[in-house]
Amino acid sequence: MTTAPATPKAKPDNDSVFLRRVRPAGWQNPVARDVYDLAVIGAGPAGIAAAESAARLGFTVALIERNIVGGNSLNAGSVPSKALIKTARVYAALHELEAFGAPMPITPPLDFTKAMERKRRVLTRISEHHSVEKLAALGIDVFFGVARFDTADTVLIAGQQLRFNKALVATGARPQPPNFPGLDAIGYRTSATMFEIDDLPKRLAVIGGGPLGCEMAQAFCRLGAQVTIVQNDPKFLPREERDAAEILSRSMARDGVEIRLNTTVVGARAADGVKILETTNDDVTCDIETDEVLLCIGRVPNVEDLGLAVAGIAFDQEHGVKTDDFLRTTNANVYAAGDVCMTLKFTNAAQAGGIMAVRNALCSGQERLSRLTIPWCTYCDPEIGHVGLHVWEARQQSIPIKSFTVMMHDVDRGITDGLTTGFVKIHVAEGTDKILGATIVAPRASELINEMSVIMSAGIGMNDLANIVHTYPAESGAIVLAARAYVRDQAIFGKA
């Protein structure tokens, strides 16, 4: 939600429809009820999911949004980035035609304006799913304005005091610009503003090699910008396993992204209209000239000006609202969900957290965040998906673990489609057939990892998985092949 994205600039019809859906002009806040079963602060993925869930269960709900409905995911994150990534993928695929027997086309420069227009159409379409109109139709009282707790069970919003039985803080997080000299002077963009540009920058420097940084670096490179990505760590995607991160690094390099790993930006300046980033890599200093800077490092939870302390809600600036495993804050009647409090800062995690918080708050639920199976994905090419434990996490917990790996280029569908990289790894607790986690690197890992999430949530082990019939040929065949490798291994050695 909330403080992050600037209100989109007015553009043709699409945008007027979009704005009508996310923040209707002339919106009149409703008159508050005497008391709400649930007051939700923040209309991002967590807040919307919670509000809709509670309303459908018959509870009275107030949903308060400071800016526009949809949060970062719709306006400055998952949705616009994927729209641009799709355009970039299609454009990049033209270079593969020759390998499949088609003549190499003469590819004209991409029309960035049209790509951005398409992105806006995508946002408009998706904004309809949870529009203010639809939320109101569910019986949710939607308030626009700045919310602030004024007691332990009331919130002030635009001159009204809302009393609640339960509340949910879902105010999200926002980009946190790094603190190096000269940055403000040269100007920069973040995910909150990058998707509003009208012209493709000739040169783009991306600072940060996490998921968003890698996605944007590869996409803008494919769209035609000269991209340099600067990452402080020795590898990209520090949360992912090394092999996956290195495959991605090579993929970006192949696309033409200039890779600067183990490199820190220490300063910035402008000269002759050019932005210059000053970097160090151990003892080597280097300047990077660019036309645009995109910051993809650091996010801070939106905890300011909410009156959290007044309501007895513990928080800190770095980790956000403090919650227990049930997502309950230190105020027993107030819960929190999404980026403002959760470690996994993904849309799906926020939605799941919001719904879980509702069940715990309003339905006497005892659901634990730690029990949720939450897959995630980095949407580069290839995509990198993960669910469950990483190998190192299992080993840190002294769980003997073994990975069954199938390379995508060994899967029949991978061969027919000319895949040369990627893999499916299923991590299994040794001595059992219990699946602890999975990592997938593939063109559509975002889809394949969901199968693993279902399998894990259903408690299906490797023995049963080996017998589940899949379509043939399919990339998901790699999942079955991994399970069959397990069965063979067990038959031969009895030790998997």
Partner 1 sequence: MDQLAALSDDALIARLQRAAFSYLTDYANPDNGLVADTSRKGSPCSIAVVGFALSCYPVAVARGWMTRTEAASRTLKALRFFAQSAQSDAPDATGYKGFYYHFLDMQTGRRVWRCELSLVDTALLIAGMLIAGRYFDGGGEEAEIRTLADALYRRVDWCWAQNGTDAVLQGWKPECGFLHYGWEGYNEAIILYVLGLGSPTFPLTPSGYRRWGLTYQWENLIDTDVLYSGPLFTHLFSHAWIDFRGIRDDFMREKRSDYFENTKGAIAVHREYGERNPHDFRAYSRDFWGVTAGDGPSDQQLRLDGRDLRFFGYMSRGVPYGPDDGTIAPWAMLATLPFDADAALTGTRHLLETYPQVCKADRFSSGFNPTLPLEGEGWLSEGWYGLDQGLLVMMIENYRSGLIWQIFRTSPYVQAGLRRAGFDGGWLQL
> What six digits make up the tokens of 411?
């899967």
- Contact status: 200 vs partner 1 (CB under 8 A): no
Q: What is the greatest pairwise CA distance in the chain?
A: 72
- Residues between 405 and 424 with contacts to partner 1, criterion CB under 8 A: 405, 407, 409-410, 420-421, 423
Min separation Cβ 47 and partner 1, Å: 38
Helix ranges, 167-311 (H): 183-186, 191-194, 211-223, 242-255
Q: Tell me the window of 44-52, 69-77, 288-296, 481-489 that interacts with partner 1 (CB under 8 A).
A: 481-489
Strands 423-429 and 147-151, bridge-based pairing: unpaired
Q: Which stretch of DSSP H or E encloses residue 126?
A: helix 112-127
Helix ranges, 143-190 (H): 183-186
Of residues 53 and 421, the one with the C-beta less far from partner 1: 421
Q: Which residues pair with 153 in a beta bridge?
A: none
Of residues 29 and 264, the one with the C-beta less far from partner 1: 264
- Determine which residue in the list 37, 52, 65, 241 makes contact with partner 1, applying CB under 8 A: 241
Distance CA 490, CA 496 (A): 5
- Residues between 86 and 145 with contacts to partner 1, criterion CB under 8 A: 95-96, 98-100, 104
Min separation Cβ 280 and partner 1, Å: 8
Of residues 132 and 442, the one with the C-beta less far from partner 1: 442
Helix ranges, 240-383 (H): 242-255, 347-362
Of residues 3 and 262, the one with the C-beta less far from partner 1: 262
Q: Tell me the window of 64-72, 234-242, 327-335, 443-451 that interacts with partner 1 (CB under 8 A).
A: 234-242
Of residues 10 and 99, the one with the C-beta less far from partner 1: 99
Strands 401-407 and 154-157, bridge-based pairing: unpaired
- CA-wise closest residue to 318 among 147, 173, 171: 173
- First-to-last alpha carbon distance for the chain, in angstroms, is 46
- Determine which residue in the list 63, 247, 265, 352 makes contact with partner 1, applying CB under 8 A: 247
- Contact status: 262 vs partner 1 (CB under 8 A): yes
- Determine which residue in the list 246, 278, 287, 291 makes contact with partner 1, applying CB under 8 A: 246
> What six digits make up the tokens of 150?
């004024």
Distance CA 341, CA 173 (A): 9
- Determine which residue in the list 234, 274, 309, 324 makes contact with partner 1, applying CB under 8 A: 234
Distance CA 98, CA 374 (A): 39
- Determine which residue in the list 254, 270, 314, 457 makes contact with partner 1, applying CB under 8 A: 254
- Determine which residue in the list 85, 369, 425, 448 makes contact with partner 1, applying CB under 8 A: 425
- Contact status: 318 vs partner 1 (CB under 8 A): no
- Residues between 378 and 407 with contacts to partner 1, criterion CB under 8 A: 391-392, 395-396, 400-405, 407
- CA-wise closest residue to 190 among 172, 203, 178: 178
Q: What angle do CA 131, 132, 135 make, to 5 degrees?
A: 90
Cis omega (within 30 of 0) for bond into 238: no
Q: Which residues bind partner 1 (CB under 8 A)?
A: 95-96, 98-100, 104, 233-234, 241-243, 246-247, 250, 253-254, 262, 280, 282-283, 391-392, 395-396, 400-405, 407, 409-410, 420-421, 423, 425, 485-486, 488-489, 493, 495-496
